[in-house]
Amino acid sequence: MLPYKNFSSKLQLVKHGKLSLLDNVNFFLNRIEENKHLNAYNFVFGCEAKEQAVKIEEKIKSGSHGKLAGLVLAVKDVLSIKDKPTTCSSNMLRDFTSLYSATVVKKLLDEDAIIIGKTNCDEFAMGSSNENSAFGPVLNPYDNERVPGGSSGGSAVAVAAGLCDVSLGTDTGGSIRQPAAFCGVFGLKPTYGRVSRYGLTAFASSFDTIGPFANNIEDMTQVLQVMAGHDTNDSTSSPMPVPDMINNLVLNAGKLRLGIAKEYLGEGLSPEIKKAVEEIIAKLKSLGFQVEEIHLPHNEYTIATYYILTTAEASSNLARYDGARYGYRSENSSSLMEMYRSSRSEGFGSEVKRRIMLGTYVLSAGYYDAYYRKAQKVRRFIKNDFDEAFKKVDIILAPTSPTVAFKIGEKSSDPLEMYLSDIYTTSANLAGIPGLNIPIAKNSAGLPIGMQLFAKQFDELNLLKMGYYIQENVS
């Protein structure tokens, strides 16, 4: 059991000589070893983490430390760290070493965070269960026969099982929020463009976002404050100013208007999850919050729209992995075309190949207008639905997932059923708005239940305020 509640209290303990950073890092390294069966990490950087702990503790004592001094961090294995492997949990990149660090990694290191390792994930971040990894599946710490969610399952487990303070994941259609719900931790998808994507291996470039997992809102806010902001290396990075979130988390009851969309509480939702969400809503009403029903008329098209657009982008982004420039190259070929074909067939896993094929199909000459162009138009309708809703309310509340964590292998043979795991999360990525999972309860089997909050674009502050209020007063 850690002797601190959050990062701020940890830093105070180190400053007053009551906690050794080296001992703290060793604690996490021992936890990682004891929980190797969870398969949360692809790589552990034990020696470097211990060296950094000693250096950073000296900086803390001298008062020259950064904002995140001593925070022990895990990073999803789709983000580049210079001179470290970046595999995307794929055989295609199993032997690849990064030539530079992602902007978010550099920002965190510059503020004296300690990166302890890189976490397992679905291959190229494509999946909802973390079963699609060349390193094997990640196990849910609450029930090792169940999935942790995906694609950032390793990052969610690393926080839930106490294998680090905070971790980074990526969210293309719910890949932070859904595993956060399955593992009982907080998970934040920022607004698209709020955090630089430079150094992130792309899945779907107009959807991908980088965000943190944490056991509390305070740590999540500290990390987001450092990561957020404009980056000249990323043309989609927003110049929108980043407010002071750390010192403005306190929210007075009733100050934000809350919205409930009936589309999120209908058929297919587990009765236990529905009951848990409704209980939170009832508590918030009793505490003085105004709750209003809203309508998202195009919500039923989110899954179809999401998978048409993201597979199209994946098809384009993954074309670069051909065995010629870098990555896996097949030795079973006698011609250039055969080398391309064999390298991609052997290097990619089945889910990635399925999405490449779907994406290539919807982009093909005969189907571009019927599928891709139409999906782009529907994406705009979905965004407009949220824009209209946020004229009436400040925060939208919804379940994060229709079910709790399911059994390993339970949905592997039915891709469509697996894709429906993201039915409540993909809309935020289509609209580019921020989303936050909050652990609110456990079901009758002791498995975590999550609820998510949405806010308008670049309104992470109100999102975190509401999350902090629920953390401290409700759940």
Q: Strand ranges (DSSP E) for 99-249?
A: 114-119, 166-171, 186-189, 209-214
List phi, psi (to 5°) of 176: -105, -50
3-state secondary structure of 207: coil
Strands 291-294 and 186-189: unpaired
Q: Tokens 């399952």 label which residue?
A: 153
Quick one: which H or E segment has residue 293? strand 291-294
**Is 133 a residue of the active site?**
no
Q: Tokens 């599928």 label which residue?
A: 371
* Contact status, residue 345 vs residue 351, Cβ threshold 8 Å: no
Under DSSP, the state recorded for 262 is: G
Measured CA distances, 89 to 42, 153, 299, 329, 364 (Å): 8, 12, 32, 17, 29
Please name which of 454, 383, 457, 443 lies closest in space to residue 193, comparing C-alpha atoms. Answer: 457
Give the separation between CA 70 and CA 9, rounded to whole angstroms. 11
3-state secondary structure of 431: helix
Sheet with 435-442, edge to edge strand ranges: 41-44, 114-119, 72-76, 166-171, 209-214, 186-189, 435-442, 448-454, 395-399, 258-261, 291-294
Catalytic site residue from 101, 167, 175, 237:
175
> How many CA atoms does the CB half-sphere of 238 hold within 13 Å?
15
**Is 353 a residue of the active site?**
no
Please provide the DSSP assignment of 408-419 as one string.
Answer: TTSSTT-HHHHH
* Contact status, residue 139 vs residue 164, Cβ threshold 8 Å: no
Catalytic site residue from 10, 76, 84, 411:
76
Q: Tokens 């498995």 label which residue?
A: 447
- CB count within 10 Å of CB 378 equals 18
Catalytic site residue from 151, 315, 342, 421:
151
Give the separation between CA 473 and CA 449, rounded to whole angstroms. 18
Quick one: which H or E segment has residue 261? strand 258-261
**Is 175 a residue of the active site?**
yes
Give the separation between CA 209 and CA 402, rounded to whole angstroms. 22
As annotated, the active-site residues are 76, 151, 175
